[in-house]
């Protein structure tokens, strides 16, 4: 499940990053469910010159300006679980409300219900049997 998360946005703004004064939470952002199909699921924003959109494309309105083109990647494991990798995004990737980003290029195991925070307001929740 992909949502615009007001609590995560408030935490980002509280850190007073360089772009925080220009950010505003979207007035309308429908919840989206995206099936996790395949061995890797890229999270990011489709570039205007890049025809290959990530599987979880956060360019859809409202576009999250804090998301890199390839911000993070979910990797399927043989036992049906997933791990998360941040390949070096500009703003980092956090899990379950932590203010500390995960290490770059290190697989982080995820469990059912874990929340992945990217950009200025996007939270992706892993939900087994449904979609993220």
In the chain, the number of structural domains is 1
| Whole-number pLDDT of residue 129 | 63
Mean pLDDT confidence for 9-30: 86
Q: Give the 3-state secondary structure of residue 42.
A: strand
| Whole-number pLDDT of residue 21 | 79
Q: Does 132 map to a domain?
A: no
| Whole-number pLDDT of residue 18 | 64
Q: Tell me the percentage of the chain whose pLDDT exceeds 70.
A: 93
Q: Does 42 map to a domain?
A: yes
| C-alpha–C-alpha distance, residues 95 and 27, integer Å | 24
Range of the domain at 108: 2-23+30-125
132, pLDDT greater than 80:
no
Mean pLDDT confidence for 39-45: 95
Task: Tell me if the pTM is above 0.85.
Answer: yes
């Amino acid at each position: 499940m992909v949502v615009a998360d007001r609590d995560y946005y408030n935490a980002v703004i509280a850190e007073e990053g360089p772009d925080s004064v220009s950010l505003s939470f979207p007035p309308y952002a429908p919840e989206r469910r995206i099936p996790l199909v395949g061995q890797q699921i890229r999270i990011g924003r489709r570039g205007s010159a890049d025809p290959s959109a990530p599987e979880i494309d956060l360019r859809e309105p409202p576009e999250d300006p804090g998301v890199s083109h390839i911000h993070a990647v979910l990797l399927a494991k043989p036992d049906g679980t997933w791990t998360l990798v941040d390949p070096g995004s500009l703003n980092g990737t956090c899990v379950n409300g932590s203010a500390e980003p995960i290490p770059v290029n290190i697989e982080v195991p995820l469990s059912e219900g874990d929340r992945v925070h990217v950009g200025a307001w996007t939270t992706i929740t892993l939900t087994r049997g449904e979609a993220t």
